[in-house]
Amino acid sequence: MESCGSIARLQARERDCACYRPKRWFLQCGLIRAAFTKTKTTLINIIMSLLVGKNAPNFSASAVVNGLPVDDFSLAQFLGKKYVVLFFYPKDFTFVCPTELHAFQAQLPEFCKRNVEVVGCSTDTAESHWGWLQIPKSHGGIQGVGYPLVADVNKTISSAYGVLNGEFGVDDEGNLTATSEMIAYRGLFLIDLQGVVRHQLVNDLPLGRSVDETLRIVDALQYFEAHGEVCPANWAAGKTAMKASFDGVASYLAQN
């Protein structure tokens, strides 16, 4: 049985890693995870998937941007310039996914007003993204979607963000193994101007997300940054926030 010290050392290594991790880091972590029992592997994966308050893992990958394939789309280009809503979806040419992609597109002007870049990502190829973009909405396609769609064909981005479906590891010969289809869960991450994850949400494959809720969270973060007040339950733009103090919560609850 592995000692608690082994887990602590792995956690310390995770904390000390720079936000822009080289690809070999993921292979090393895969080898380390493979040394643990299934239960401990699950524990380590959970620990690694909690990204709130940490630097968002950077990536450079192929993508479709403004309808054209590019080879080197990077998250780092937005650092210090824009907030980012990075959302993962399972597959091109499926069912819940196009409803979400069109819903984000419909609200794209609202995200732009808030200086937010919307970025979609799945484990499909850039060619698959491009092909799906050619199909009209009335035929189940995503024609008209204008924000970037990243191609995580190597699964490294989904893995770094803790949203890769399936139990996976490395066998005795160093081969990556998987017990199920390795596609992304419906993860969503709000990244601030400093590149720090401030909000994350992960849904199972059948459960679509609320774009209105994503905008509400963006508003809450930006309100807090501008005014220093915290946002209580069900807060929305235009509603009363409160000071983070005993007097502040007492005053808020007395009026609400």
Active site residues per annotation = 97
Beta bridge partners of 84: 117, 191
Closest to 211 (Cα-Cα) out of 130, 147, 157 = 147
Residue 39 gets the label, from left (phi > 0), alpha (psi -120 to 50) or beta, of alpha
Q: How many helices and strands, by DSSP H and E, does the chain display?
A: 9, 9
SS3 149: strand
Cα separation, 18 vs 200, whole angstroms: 20
How many angstroms separate the CA atoms of 190 and 111, rounded? 12
DSSP 92: S
Give ∠ CA 202-92-79 in degrees, rounded to 5: 55
Each as own residue / partner, the long-range contacts of residues 245-251 (CB below 8 Å, 24 or more positions apart, any chain) are none
Helix axis angle for 23-34 and 38-49, nearest 10°, is 150
